[in-house]
């Protein structure tokens, strides 16, 4: 429950920093965070069914706008394929290290939140197949996005940029007519994080409902939203510290124990319990 609230707070801070940098430069971050939290609160209050139904049209909006942004980047010719080379120039070890220490827990590890809703939405083999297909599709989109970022920005610029896809879209300029394409990317990410924060708040409510059986989950929605919003604003003094924590510190002390350690321990405990029961 606390873990889900913390991740929701980090996501609120992420979108607050992005909007403050790319769109509303003069607007205080507190107003952006509060407005976004109210939006996520409304989405959660409508129930899990509406969150799921909302994700269906969003998927097509996401694919359409994302594809349009990528097409504009390619049409503008603000890229260089040679920036992809050398492929694995430092060997496969650095790739495996990045996969295990970075990509495994974010974003793929955060799919643990779907366990809070899987029982109500999917069952049995259908859940496993759907999850596998979603992970494969997400991995492909992330890999393709990384390629676009590399050929547009280069490795060094991509590493220094907090939002590399927004920076790549900002470079688009077609005949001084089509510009500021990063606004579309911000809109795409806004929709994505609304769904993500809504799911994490819903998971926190489900955890509360499981622990406190006499308390309705929805009774805690407003307090949880307030806590997530305040934590998002107080989580770090500035964007640099926030993103450095998210990349270097939080995965080791929070993501890996919560996403891998505790589920693995529970799985082993379940196997042991079954073995004892059958013996």
pLDDT computed for residue 127 by the predictor? 65
Contact 120, 48 (CB under 8 A): yes
DSSP three-state, residue 91: coil
Q: Write out pLDDT tens, residues 246-278.
A: 777 887 788 778 877 887 888 888 888 888 877
Contact 220, 213 (CB under 8 A): no
Q: Write out pLDDT tens, residues 206-237.
A: 878 777 777 666 678 888 889 999 988 888 88
pLDDT computed for residue 174 by the predictor? 67
**Average pLDDT, consecutive stretches of 10 residues, N- to C-terminus, the chain (279 residues):** 85 87 82 90 84 82 79 73 71 70 66 67 63 79 80 75 74 68 79 86 82 71 89 85 80 80 84 81
For residue 27, give both structure tokens.
């607007």
Contact 237, 224 (CB under 8 A): no
Q: Find how far residue 39's CA is from the centre of its chain.
A: 17
Among 175, 204, 215, residue whose Cα is nearest residue 40: 204
- State the alpha helices, DSSP H only, in 212-261: 221-234, 239-244, 250, 256
DSSP assignment string, 56-121: HHHHHHHHHHHHHHHHHHHHHT---GGGGPSTTTT-HHHHHHHIIIIITTTTGGGGGGGHHHHHHH
Sign of CA pseudo-dihedral 83, 251, 58, 20: negative
Given phi > 0 = left and psi -120 to 50 = alpha, else beta, which region is 266?
alpha
The size of the chain, in residues, is 279
Q: How many CB atoms lie within 10 A of CB 32?
A: 21
pLDDT computed for residue 175 by the predictor? 64
Q: Helix count (H) and strand count (E) of the chain?
A: 14, 0
Residues linked to residue 174 through DSSP beta bridges, in sequence order: 178
Contact 169, 70 (CB under 8 A): no
Residues linked to residue 178 through DSSP beta bridges, in sequence order: 174
């Amino acid at each position: 429950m606390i873990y889900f609230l913390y991740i929701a707070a980090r996501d609120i801070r992420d979108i607050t920093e992005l909007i403050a940098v790319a769109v509303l430069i003069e607007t205080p971050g507190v107003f952006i965070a509060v407005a976004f939290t109210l939006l996520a609160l409304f989405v959660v209050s409508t129930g899990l069914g509406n969150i799921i139904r909302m994700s269906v049209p969003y998927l097509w909006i996401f694919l359409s706008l994302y594809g349009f942004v990528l097409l504009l980047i390619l049409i503008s010719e603000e890229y260089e394929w040679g920036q992809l080379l050398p492929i694995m120039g430092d060997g496969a070890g650095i790739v495996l290290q990045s996969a295990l220490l970075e990509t495994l827990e974010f974003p793929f590890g955060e799919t643990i939140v779907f366990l809070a809703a899987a029982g109500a939405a999917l069952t049995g083999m259908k859940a496993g197949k759907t999850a596998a297909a979603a992970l494969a599709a997400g991995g492909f989109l992330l890999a393709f996005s990384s390629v676009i970022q590399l050929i547009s920005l280069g490795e060094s610029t991509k590493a220094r940029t907090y939002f590399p896809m927004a920076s790549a879209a900002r470079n688009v300029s077609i005949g001084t007519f089509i510009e500021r394409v990063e606004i579309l990317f911000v809109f795409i990410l806004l929709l994505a994080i609304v769904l993500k924060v809504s799911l994490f708040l819903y998971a926190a409510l489900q955890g509360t409902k499981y622990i406190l059986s006499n308390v309705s989950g929805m009774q805690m929605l407003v307090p949880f939203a307030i806590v997530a919003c305040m934590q998002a604003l107080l989580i770090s003094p500035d964007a640099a510290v926030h993103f450095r924590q998210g990349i270097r510190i939080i995965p080791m002390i929070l993501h890996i124990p919560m996403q891998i350690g505790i589920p693995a321990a529970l799985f082993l405990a379940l196997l042991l319990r079954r073995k004892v029961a059958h013996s």
